[in-house]
């Protein structure tokens, strides 16, 4: 069962929402590097991050609930942000030998550090690192998660290559994120019209979130899918809009 984190409110607050919306609409993202741009974007909204995005980032808790965390295993959360996935894992996280929460935004990881202390997760640590270069020994990780982080990693294919190398044979990768379909979607996959593809790609790109039609293709190519769903999710304060997102749970082939 998830525990409450006193340091960060996850309940909707009009004042907190206004702060986040002001930051999203009027704060100019600055920086010469990806790390600087991330911190510029998140620095002014880190403490309000969870309360607002809980209604935007759909499927995170469901994704974590579907993972069979092995006892004494290793879990790597890439783009961990404020460590919300740790709360979603609840007691399952206590049975793990090691949990590594990796992110490139110090302001978000400072919230994650408080969460770790409040939850009493002595097996969890944060790592300020670039997901395209951070790695653990080959075939040493049991579970890798990316929740709404793949779209924020410019060199995302390098991140997936590293993830594949770190995973043990049969290890699980679990991803939830926004996306758009290809112009001609693969069989048994959703086909988005040109307007939906164009609208959401441009809408998210304004915040340096880059939707791709290739993420799913690469996940299916590198990993054996256990579960895969494409959905539409509500957007706060925009009742008529539904943003496309997916859940993917797959395993590294054993041979």
For the chain, the structural domain boundaries read 14-251
Return the number of other C-beta atoms located less than 10 Å from residue 221's C-beta.
9
* The pair of three-digit structure tokens given for residue 33, joined into one six-digit string: 């590097």
Give the model's pLDDT for residue 39.
Answer: 57
Alpha-carbon torsion angle 133, 135, 138, 143, nearest 10: -120
Choose among 229, 195, 197: nearest CA to 213: 197
Give the model's pLDDT for residue 113.
Answer: 95
pTM flag (> 0.85): no
Give the model's pLDDT for residue 26.
Answer: 46
User: In 27-148, which ranges are continuous DSSP H helix?
Assistant: 34-42, 49-53, 60-65, 84-89, 106-119
Give the model's pLDDT for residue 51.
Answer: 57
Is the distance from CB of 81 to CB of 105 less than 8 angstroms? yes
Give the model's pLDDT for residue 105.
Answer: 87
The strand pair at 74-78 and 141-147 is best described as: parallel
Give the model's pLDDT for residue 73.
Answer: 97
Q: Which CATH number fits domain 14-251: 3.40.50.410, 3.20.20.70, 3.40.50.300, 3.40.50.150?
A: 3.40.50.150
**pLDDT tens, residue order, the chain (255 aa):** 333 333 334 444 555 555 555 455 545 556 666 555 555 555 555 555 555 567 678 999 999 999 999 999 999 999 998 999 999 999 998 899 999 999 998 888 999 999 999 999 999 999 999 999 999 999 999 999 999 999 989 899 999 999 999 999 999 999 999 999 999 988 888 999 999 999 999 988 877 889 999 999 999 999 999 999 999 998 877 788 899 999 999 999 997
């Amino acid at each position: 069962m998830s525990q409450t984190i006193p340091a960060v409110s996850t309940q909707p607050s009009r004042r907190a929402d206004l702060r986040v919306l002001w930051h999203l609409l009027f704060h100019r993202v600055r920086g010469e590097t990806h790390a600087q741009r991330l911190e510029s974007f998140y620095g002014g909204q880190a403490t309000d991050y969870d309360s607002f995005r809980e209604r935007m980032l759909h499927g995170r808790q469901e994704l974590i609930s579907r993972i069979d965390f092995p006892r004494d295993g290793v879990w790597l959360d890439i783009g961990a942000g404020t460590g919300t996935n740790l709360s979603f894992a609840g007691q399952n996280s206590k049975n793990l030998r090691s949990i590594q929460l990796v992110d490139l935004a110090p302001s978000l990881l400072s919230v994650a550090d408080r969460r770790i202390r409040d939850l009493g997760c002595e097996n969890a640590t944060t790592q300020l690192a670039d997901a395209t270069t951070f790695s653990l020994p080959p075939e040493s990780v049991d579970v890798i998660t990316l929740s709404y982080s793949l779209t924020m990693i410019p060199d995302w294919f390098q991140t997936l290559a590293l993830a594949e190398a770190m995973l043990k044979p049969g290890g699980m990768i679990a991803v939830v994120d926004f996306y758009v379909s290809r112009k001609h979607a693969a069989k048994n996959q959703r086909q988005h019209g040109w307007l939906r593809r164009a609208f959401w790609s441009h809408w998210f790109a304004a915040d340096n979130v880059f939707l791709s039609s290739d993420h799913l293709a690469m996940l299916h190519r590198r990993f054996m899918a256990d579960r895969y769903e494409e959905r539409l999710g509500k957007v706060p304060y925009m009742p008529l809009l539904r943003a496309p997102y997916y859940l993917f749970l797959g395993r590294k082939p054993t041979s």
